[in-house]
Amino acid sequence: MLKTTLSALAITVSTLAMAQEPNYQAPEQATATDFIEIFETLSGKHPGIRKGHARGVCAAGSFTPSSVAQERYSSPIFDTKVPVVLRFSMGGGNPNADERAKAPRGIGVQFQLANGSLHQLAGLTTPMFAGKNPEQFLGLLRLNAQIRDGEAPADARANYFAANPEAAGQGQWLQQRNPAAEYTSASYYGIHTFFADTATGKKDKFRWQLIPATGEVLLTDEERETLPADFLTDRLVERINTDGAVHYYLQWVIGTDADATNDPSVVWPVEQREVVNVGTLTISGANGEQCTPINFDPNLLAQGVQASDDPVLALRSAAYAISFGKRLSQQ
């Protein structure tokens, strides 16, 4: 009788333990408001500051289209040389983020076209996103907050990645290399897929990338140990003052039928794809206020360019709009 009772008790305890095991599945849905809330949970509330990529610096310059782009595509992006406004940034919602960290950096670019319209880019220094959809990314952010607050064990992230492997790639990529030595010595990637109208009436499926003309330069291990946490703006200003301008090649990687359009966690095999140099981005000024009033929504596209069915890309418009509204109202 006692043995039977103890066995039943053991089964009950085991069942309760299993019931209390953390759920490492991504949430069933994710809204723009969910992301604003988790950014504030992770980084605190900073009235008047962008909710994502809070720490950053403005820059300005111009874009000169290539003759290849002018011949191949019908978009007014490639009609003539136009001014651009840029913003370099650190990922996350902390306006005092450590710039030495192995964390994503970002870029926003606004092309001010001759016909009065705008075209915008928003990219990262990683060629992939931390999730195949908004739900996976939201689940990861919420788990990060739980681990920080002691509400989940330290190894919980590994369990989440086992259940959501697409969310693991970005962090693995970041940990395998040091960040760039300057904002302008990093490559930036448009992790989403877009479509462009060609002059012959067809469409090219593409992802964009910005490649520094002088190549990437990364921080050394010693620099990561000895530099102050806020060195990037000073280096940007010094670079512009020393060289007069910094040049980037804007490239479109042309996708095939095999390349995902709706999963930004998947990296296209660039070395096996056609890469079109569509123009040169020249950065000639830095540390002004040109970018302050701009909401760098990557869905603001010029005629001749269309967004794909990427769910992360689609959600960004609403999240950016909420952040922009809160910033304007000093929330």
As annotated, the active-site residues are 53
Question: Do 39 and 138 form a contact (C-beta atoms < 8 A)?
Answer: no
Strand partners, 305: 196
**Around Cβ 318, how many Cβ atoms within 10 Å?**
16
Question: Do 204 and 198 form a contact (C-beta atoms < 8 A)?
Answer: yes
Phi-psi region of 14 (alpha: psi -120 to 50; beta: other; left: phi over 0): alpha
Any idea what the Cα angle at residue 24 is, between residues 20 and 28, rounded to 5°?
110
Q: Which 3 state secondary structure label does DSSP give 63?
A: strand
Overall size of the chain counted in residues: 331
The maximal CA–CA distance of the chain, rounded, in angstroms, is 89
Strand partners, 283: 61, 246
Q: How far apart are CA 173 and CA 157, in angstroms?
A: 16
The DSSP result for 177-241, as a single string, is: SPPBSSGGGS-EE--S-EEEEBTTS-EEEEEEEEEETT---BPPHHHHHHS-TT-HHHHHHHHHH
> How many H-runs (helices) and E-runs (strands) does the chain carry?
9, 10
| Nearest C-alpha neighbor of 133 from the set 262, 21, 253 | 262
Distance of CA 308 to the CA centre of its chain: 16
Question: Do 84 and 213 form a contact (C-beta atoms < 8 A)?
Answer: no
Crossing angle between the packed helical segments 32-43 and 134-148, to the nearest 10 degrees = 20
